[in-house]
Amino acid sequence: MADEILREDRSGWTMLTLNRPDKLNALTVSMFRELRNHIADLRKDDSIGCVVLRGAGKCFSAGHDLADIAEGEAVPSRGWHSETLRMMEKLPKPVIAAVHGHCYTGALEVALAADFILASDRARFGDTHAKWALTPIWGMSQRLPRRVGIATAKRLMFTADMIDAAEAVRIGLAEYAVPQEEFETEIEALAERIIANSTFSHAANKRLLEATDCDPMDAGLQWEVMENEGTGPDMQERIAAFTGKGK
């Protein structure tokens, strides 16, 4: 049986690919199990400075596999999917969701657990929980309003409307969009720009942002002062290379 999540290590970063293209990468328990294993491995892999999550074939993912839902899924625990996405969200390295084509409901919950979304101009997003008389349990109710604001989250959740990449960028759901023909090139260029910077800073900044998200400003500022992790082991080397004073 083919792997349902492919891992391809590049020079300093890795690509994780949802790999059920014949099913539009519809999400199953077995896919989440593989994703969870990759996340555990990546947490321990200091050679990887950035993770890109994408889909094979025509789209990122059409969402949670409705056939699996109808048949009744055997999950290890009620919150197991949500826990898996939280593990990905807390990886001490940048995680980018590269979205083309469909990104609906469960797939959007997966993409929202990344640090941000890079979209193809052909990407389409939507939350259809209400269409099927479902409620979110993978994180939609928490991550979507933090990303786009509570009123916009309510609009998307209540209407089950599909939105295109331009609208996703406008509301802050996707960070930016590029033409589909430039998508592959931009994924690589983005990852390269990220890994050119300090892995120490990336990990420290993620922890800082996570710890103070939604805090009052004064509390966040105090946390930054008291809990700042200082400088990385390669600070002097990086400054010397910039100033031309390195040996």
Residue 230's CB is within 10 A of a number of other CB atoms, namely 7
pLDDT single digits (tens) 126-167? 999 999 999 999 999 999 999 999 999 999 999 999 999 999
Close Cβ partners of 128 (under 8 Å, ≥ 6 residues apart): 63, 104, 105, 160
pLDDT of residue 208: 93
Q: What percent of the chain has pLDDT over 90?
A: 87
Confidence of residue 1 (pLDDT cuts 50, 70, 90): low
pLDDT of residue 151: 98
pLDDT of residue 55: 98
Is this model's pTM higher than 0.85 or not? yes
pLDDT of residue 244: 86
pLDDT of residue 70: 66
Confidence of residue 74 (pLDDT cuts 50, 70, 90): confident
Token pair 């786009």: residue: 148
Distance CA 166, CA 174 (A): 9
pLDDT single digits (tens) 96-117? 999 999 999 999 999 999 999 9
Confidence of residue 246 (pLDDT cuts 50, 70, 90): low
Q: Which residues pair with 51 in a beta bridge?
A: 14, 95
Q: What percent of the chain has pLDDT over 70?
A: 97
pLDDT single digits (tens) 202-218? 999 999 999 999 889 99
Q: What is the dihedral of CA 155, 213, 210, 28, to 10 degrees?
A: -20
pLDDT single digits (tens) 19-53? 999 999 999 999 999 999 999 999 999 999 999 99
pLDDT of residue 75: 84
Lowest mean pLDDT among 51-60, 137-146, 177-186, 222-231: 222-231
pLDDT of residue 65: 87
pLDDT, mean of residues 192-207:
96
More confident: 158 or 75: 158
Write phi, then psi, for 133 (nearest 5 degrees): 60, 40
Report whether pLDDT(247) > 60.
no
